[in-house]
Structure 1
Amino acid sequence: MYERILVPTDGSDVAEVAIDHAVDLAEKYDAEIHALYVVDVDAVSFGLGAEQVDRIRQGHFGEMDELEERANDATGAVAEAAAEHGISAVEEVRVGRPHAVIADYAEDEDVDLVVMGSHGRAGVSRAILGSVTERVLRSTHRPVLVVDYERED
């Protein structure tokens, strides 16, 4: 039923819960996992100049080591969880508007299922940007499993 499962990740606790679900499904269906981190240029452009944003759009992080490290850590966590269960994983970092990049990736890679958290960001940035998950649901015709996360007190 599922051959390719996409896990968009931002490295948050919510994404970690989605990873667990994706790995479980991949193991059951002998599927490949695709880990996708999207650098949201709209969000990072507030603190950067136009030249730096253009370089990021081209995939050149340059002095943005922290951003590149965050992306690699997030996709690496997915690949590591997959490897622990003998599941093949593909890691990808892309630049753009997260919901559009996720929907396009799912289409381009013929993904059978997208597994993502109900929300990753919190606070003001989430309110300004809106829910990526909600936008993905409206932007793709691929099945999407939305994993909710309850913070333990």
Structure 2
Amino acid sequence: MRKSVDAILRWAIIAIFTVLVACVVWQVASRFIFGTPSTVTDELARFLFMWVALIGGAYTLGQGRHLAIDLLPMTLTGTRKLLLELLILALICAFAGVVMIYGGSLLVMKTLASGQVTPSLQIPMGYVYGAIPFSGAVMIFYCLTFAADLLNGKRPQIESISAGPLS
């Protein structure tokens, strides 16, 4: 199931980023070539950037490529290392649950209830803010799969940083 979620997120990020780039290119062209900037693409680009950043952050967590200070976990072994890794996952889960899902859902509901719409696109602002609880749910999914792997004696299947182009 995790590979399916990875693939869906990967393609969603690619699609959103493609539309984002097209919006920005059109914005530049309409401003400098035609002399009339497009307010619709400007607004759409801002909202797509929010979505791609939040979904990208959740996806990065799932790939094990997020920024981390791992000095302490690298010095521990055995049960202590396992407990620390589970504690870290629990803290990430708590943040994603309380701040992103609970707080983000309240923000989405309040914004939808107020009827606030975006100035140019005229879409409900709650849809824009929907990226927050969605990304929180994805983060919790990844934390739970990593915790299950750890409790079953397996190392979570994540990409190694050393496999990247900087190694």
Using CA pairs below 8 Å that are at least 6 residues apart, which structure has the higher relative contact order? 1
TM-score normalized by structure 1? 0.28
Higher helix share: 2
Higher strand share: 1
TM-score normalized by structure 2? 0.27
